[in-house]
Amino acid sequence: MSGESRKRRHGSVSTEKESVLDPSDKGRLIVVEDKPFAAILPCVTDLRGVGADSELDKPPSLSDDIPRIQGSTDNSRKEATEHDEANIVGVKASSSTVLSGLSTSAVVRGEVADSSLPNTTSTTPHTLVQSNDCVRTVAETSPMPDLFAQDDDGDTFLHIAVVQGDQPLSQFFIERMKLKGVDIFNKLRQTPLHLAVITHQKYLVEKLVEGGADVNLMDRHGQTALHLACQNGDINSVFAIRDVTHRCHLQIRLDLKNFQGFSALHVATLRGNKQLVETILDMGAEINDQDSNSGRTALHHAVEAGKHHVAEYLISRGADVNKVTFAGNTPLHTASGRDMEPMVKLLIEHGANVNIANLEGDIPKVGQTSEQAKRHFRSKEKQTKRRKK
């Protein structure tokens, strides 16, 4: 993005700026805008990894990185894809450019004059020491900056520290913010907890929930932290949410549906991860809960998605094989209508009724190759009648 286009995006750039040398880096120029929190900027503007030929008016910022990675920019937010949150994982791979400032509301626009500065993308003892130094710098700042201030994208210092994967700094912000609440939405309607889950940071998920983060809050797609963890197949974040909510006696709403009408169990089922499904059920999810879109249960979704191992597991946990959708379809209607012979056999062997008609009067079209399964069902039906007599 050129300097002119950046100015058009953010409005006119203030002329009240002051250039100072960062004492911790020779040749590093810090341009301080006439805004709050100037004292802590050296902490939150680590620009290692940015080349010497960077454009002077294009500092790397959260507003440039996250929306781009998520498929959503300020100029094209309406074109955001349905699951763009999952793509924020890429931020971790380029995290050295993420925590450079709080977009245009940040205090700093910094440039690096020395291209030989190292590009560190992983947590090392060296970076951990720098992070602890940063915590001390922020802690000793007087007066303390407004940690609840948000940039043009709605991100706070905590949002950025979480995306950066900076555990000590994130913990510092959580401790200072938890009395007033850490649940602040950015303009993509993401809380720091959503970002911690999206970036697969089990430790920060635990710390945020312990610090008061509400696990039931939804992002702009209606996804809770648990939905996002299931969507990404992140069993560790699911474990973190489960363990902390249990330990802290917090209520987690397993019946909440996203804007597609799916609960966390439905999302885990569609992911095809048996361990996720097992964990969500053990947390107390209702196995026959219907989605709000069509009335399909987790078993319907497993059958439709061809997740045979998940369907088999759901049946073993007591899923109703004859549960009907809003249109009156059983899982057998779906399996037979798609010629899914192994699934048809599985369902009939576990009691699926071949004679249930949907609202259009159609019964499952069970093929001739399933005659053995049908005989097995009829035999079980006769045995049941005998018992009743």
pLDDT for the residue numbered 133: 77
pLDDT for the residue numbered 124: 47
Q: Which residues of the chain have pLDDT under 70?
A: 1-130, 367-389
pLDDT for the residue numbered 216: 98
Residue 261 Ramachandran class (φ > 0 left, ψ -120 to 50 alpha, else beta): left
- pLDDT tens, residue by residue, 137-166: 777 777 888 999 999 999 999 999 999 999
pLDDT for the residue numbered 378: 62
Question: 255: which 2 tokens?
Answer: 């019946």
pLDDT for the residue numbered 6: 38
User: What is residue 112's three-state secondary structure?
Assistant: strand
pLDDT for the residue numbered 132: 77
DSSP state of 289: P
pLDDT for the residue numbered 94: 34
Give the separation between CA 71 and CA 85, rounded to whole angstroms.
9
- pLDDT tens, residue by residue, 109-144: 222 223 333 333 344 445 555 677 778 777 777 788
Residue 157 · residue 141 · CB < 8 Å: no
DSSP codes of every residue in 101-145: -SGGGSSEEEEES-TTS----S--HHHHHHHHHHHHHHHH-SSPP
pLDDT for the residue numbered 254: 97
DSSP E strand boundaries for the chain: 17-21, 28-33, 108-112
pLDDT for the residue numbered 367: 57
Q: Is the peptide bond before 118 cis (omega within 30 degrees of 0)?
A: no
pLDDT for the residue numbered 130: 64
pLDDT for the residue numbered 120: 34
pLDDT for the residue numbered 139: 79
> Which domains occur in the chain, in start order?
289-388 (1.25.40.20)
Question: 159: which 2 tokens?
Answer: 């949002």
Question: 288: which 2 tokens?
Answer: 């026959």
